[in-house]
Structure 1
Amino acid sequence: MTMATPDRTEADAGARSVGGLGLGDCAAMATRLAGHPALHPAQVDELSLDRPDYRRPQRGEDFDLVGFDRPLDVDAGVDLRALTYHRLLFVAHELADGLADDVGGDPALRRDARAILPALDRMCFASRVRHAGPPGAASDRLDLAAPGFWTALGERAAWGTGVAALALQMQPLVAVFQRTPTLAARCAPLHRGAAGLVGRAAGGGVAASSGHGPGNRHVDWQFYLPTALALANALRSRVVEPTEVAEAVAALLGRILRAAQTAAPSDADIDLAPVITDLGSWRSTGGPAAALAAGFAADLAAHLVWLSEFEAHTAFAARCRRRMATLSVPLPLDTFIEPRHMVSTTHVHDDHRLVIVETGEMVFWAVPGMRCRVKAGEAIYVPRGRLHGSSVLTETCRYHQPVIPEDWLADAPVGGGR
């Protein structure tokens, strides 16, 4: 279902307005909605929430950086703009549907959410429904639907964690099916299959979304990948025909689960066979929906490889630091000085970076339950587009984020941006 590129007249009009709102109005409404005091960023003890109501989509400085000044590019998938736009659209749907009416007790929140939805739909999807989808699909070594991918995860003792991570990323989709009766009826096999995956991962001794399971109103919303949010938003916004999205997701999920089941370790405590059977034989028809699903698979594969090779990426960070010491011109970097308990809402970078702690100590995370302590003198490597967050454990923490050049990546581990 590839659609034609818009003509010059439509493109010029789109530069001035989107979804019936001027870009300036859209940006102002987005900033007001996201900055409402009821939507404060999660604190260090709120990464997995008992209540799902504290969902500021992004840090204030990131909103200033993103600007909401244009629709997403056709190849946007895992950059900061895509994450921020899709988080805001996801939260706006929750508010507009009355699923978070208790947030702050402010009716203006729901009103603002409903008003901005048409514009946000266009901002997030206008380019994607006109093209086949984002380029840069995962290589064979990062293919979630390849048995070799899951075998490699098993060799790193990460097979169960990978299944749990897949279940976590399916939760926004499960929620859409549960709350949309007509869609759930049309796509019952995918609904059951996705819910079954979440339940089996949680019941198999592997914590899927902190053990909350489906229908939890997104207590782990900070850990949803931008591509998973894009799939859920595509279903909810109906900018792409919902059944086409369901077919693409079900076909992809079936291939992934069959590969995972084939490569399951002998002592695996998660039986995926019933979920595979329940999905039945779905065929993806291509087009924008399939491209969104493929982008999600590539994003999750890269995320899992990065996490499963964290030690290798830490070693790569050390090699980068040694190389930095030989440079006559320093690499560009950002420096931060943050107080105790300062929390960085999970985010992504649009370039490859090191995180080098000069003084103090921080804790770094990228999935629920992860607590990686980084002390003074230590560094970690964060590839472009990898979701992560941190908080400060000492009175203050001074750290640097140098940008790693592309030509240094030949020495990076798999999943490190190559």
Structure 2
Amino acid sequence: MSPDSFDLTSLPALTDANDVVKAFAANPAFRAAEWEELTTEDDPWRRPVRPDDLEWLDYSKPMPAHKKLKLSALLGHRMLRNVYDAGNVHLPPRSTEVNATSAKQFHSETSRVLGALAKPILERHLFTLLEEQRPELSTVDVKTITETVRGYHEQRVARPGELFDVALRTRGRKEAATFVLLQLSAFRPAAHTAIGRAAIGEYDTAHPALRGLLLDDYRAWVDASAAYRELLSAASLVPTAGAYWQLYLGTSLGRGNLLQHYASDPSKVFELAGAYVHEKIDRAATGKRFTEVFADGFGYSGNFFGPDTGLSSAGLDELLGKLLPPLAENFGTDALAAFHRGFSDARWFAETWDADLATQLDWADKIEEYQEKAEKIDQHLTNENIEVDLDTFVETNEETSTTHVHNEHRLVMIETGQMHFWNNVTHKIQLNEGDKLLIPVSRLHGSTVLSGSCTYHQPIIPDEMLQQLL
């Protein structure tokens, strides 16, 4: 960008952190979704953020850990991914007038300037909570960190994650497997991009092994592109970046964003190295389980995950032997501590993601049960004459609610009209007049009105009441 091509006076007035975030999200490429934009397979730059909600969300301060699955986290990670991806090359399957317009909007100079201003605000809001989640080391040295990482590797290989068991218990196995793959596609390519970016630099003298390891990892990802396309194709999905944007969980975006956060800041190269080691362990621990879920769900028989499962205990020791001693010898305990921070942060995101995805899969597979629970709750409110906070919406034909989560438990109660309710690419759920559905806190969903108009209510159900009733 040259001074001659950009007019600073074109920027909106920005008086605080939230003004910056809202100005960035005002990019037309991030506007609320329309009815035909549940997926965007032909447009890697059309990424609905749900910007209207930014009027009441506060990004000026760090997000507490208990809000890690709430709306500000979801929208924050959507915006932050767009900030990072503004510096990456994406291409659509074919050029159209629509996606050409999206590309210009996404990569516009104004958007990149606003993104640069929003980046530290969003990173502070989303990542500060990690400081409280990191376990302390008794001693910061190569031996202690090696033992810590080795113990985690053994634990993960033995227990790869709850989500796999939940996916294989669902009644709708194809739907569950497809949704799991959507989440994998939200963070795996982003993680590889971050690792590849961190390989660019001149630091071999200070650390003889790191750049080569990162470069080899990215090269392996490039070599696996055909196998990755085959995996997606088995589920009738495409590899276009952001193709299923509305259906990515905030934690899925967050896993990729963490590595992008480290890779975008040269001062955090040692954190990136720690997160990279976690990625290697995570792939080794989960590859066979992903293959099992995808084979069961949609008949996948490829070998995309085969190379990932080969990290043995001896291989991990060899990897750590290449990485950790140069950090200690050339940069001291501060570098080792940074490595451990990156490793621990990636571990926290992986564990949070596993629990979030497992809960989403279970809820989505039991929609009929949650309709029955909604009837029970509504009957209780009526019988006991209990008043709760209530939001009412009147929407018109084809009006679409960009996917989101609620910060509390809510019922959806259709008074008049019809809507499609959705939480996956595989199917939509039709809700008609009189239908009710319980949406627990932090469960991702969206909707589109089918009738000329639709009036519906959302009673907010206190957590204590929900636990007592259910």
TM-score bracket relative to the smaller structure: 0.7 to 0.9
Summarize the alignment of residues 145-294 of structure 1 with structure 2, pairs less than 5 Å apart.
145=160, 150=164, 153-176=167-190, 177-178=192-193, 180-183=196-199, 185=215, 187-188=217-218, 191=221, 198-204=228-234, 206-207=235-236, 211-213=237-239, 216-238=240-262, 241-259=271-289, 269-271=299-301, 275-281=305-311, 287-294=344-351
Partner of 1:378: 435
Distance 1:218 1:38, change over 3 A: closer
CA pair 224-151 structure 1, distance change in 2 beyond 3 A: closer
**Bigger share in helix:** 2
Count of equivalent residues: 374
- Separation (CA, whole Å) in 2 of partners of 1:155 and 1:85: 32
> Does the CA-based 8 Å contact 1:250-1:279 persist in structure 2?
no
Residues 13-412 of structure 1: pairs in structure 2 closer than 5 A: 24-49=15-40, 50-60=42-52, 62-97=53-88, 101-103=103-105, 106-132=108-134, 145=160, 150=164, 153-176=167-190, 177-178=192-193, 180-183=196-199, 185=215, 187-188=217-218, 191=221, 198-204=228-234, 206-207=235-236, 211-213=237-239, 216-238=240-262, 241-259=271-289, 269-271=299-301, 275-281=305-311, 287-410=344-467
User: 1:6-17 maps to which residues of 2 (within 5 A)?
Assistant: none
Deviation track 1:148-192 (CA, whole Å, cap 9, x = no partner) reads: x64554453433433332221122333322473545625349847
Compare 175-184 and 289-298 and name the one that shifted more.
175-184
Percent of counterpart pairs with the same letter?
23
User: What is the CA–CA distance in structure 1 between the aligned matches of 2:296 and 2:71, rounded to whole Å?
Assistant: 39
Q: 8 Å contact 1:341–1:393 — kept in the other structure?
A: yes
- 1:264 and 1:120 map into 2 onto residues whose CA distance is 34
| Aligned AA (1:86) | H
| TM-score, normalization by structure 1 | 0.78
- Contact 1:150-1:264 within 8 A present in 2 as well: no
Q: Aligned partners of 2:80 and 2:295: how far apart in 1?
A: 39
1:97/1:247 CA distance change after superposition, 3 Å: same
Separation in 2, partners of 1:293, 1:375: 38
- Post-superposition Cα deviations, 1:181-212, rounded to whole Å, max 9, x if no partner, equal 545625349847996885454233x23xxx11
Q: 1:254 to 1:380 in 2, by over 3 A?
A: farther
Note the alpha carbon deviations across 1:98-119, whole angstroms, 9 max, x for none: 7575227742112211232233
Q: In structure 2, list runs of 5 or more residues that go unmatched.
A: 1-13, 91-101, 136-157, 200-213, 321-339
Q: Tell me how far 1:369 sits from its aligned partner.
A: 3.4
SS in 2 for 1:380: strand
SS in 2 for 1:232: helix
Match of 2:8 in 1: none
Q: TM-score, normalised by structure 2?
A: 0.70
Q: Distance in 2 between matches of 1:288 and 1:266?
A: 32
1:335-374 Cα offsets, whole Å, 9 max, x none, are: 1111111111111001111111101111111122331111
**Letter paired with 2:24:** L
User: 1:299 & 1:377 partners in 2: Cα distance?
Assistant: 30
Q: Which has the larger radius of gyration?
A: 2
SS, match of residue 325 in structure 1:
helix
Q: Classify the secondary structure of the residue corresponding to 2:104.
A: coil
Q: Any gaps of 5 or more consecutive residues in structure 1?
A: 1-22, 134-142, 414-418
Give the root-mean-square deviation of aligned CA atoms: 3.3
Deviation at 1:411, TM superposition (A): 7.3
Higher deviation after alignment, 115-124 or 183-192? 183-192
Residues 181 and 287 (structure 1), Cα distance of their counterparts in 2 relative to 1, 3 Å cut = closer
CA positional deviation for 1:38: 4.1
Separation (CA, whole Å) in 2 of partners of 1:81 and 1:338: 24
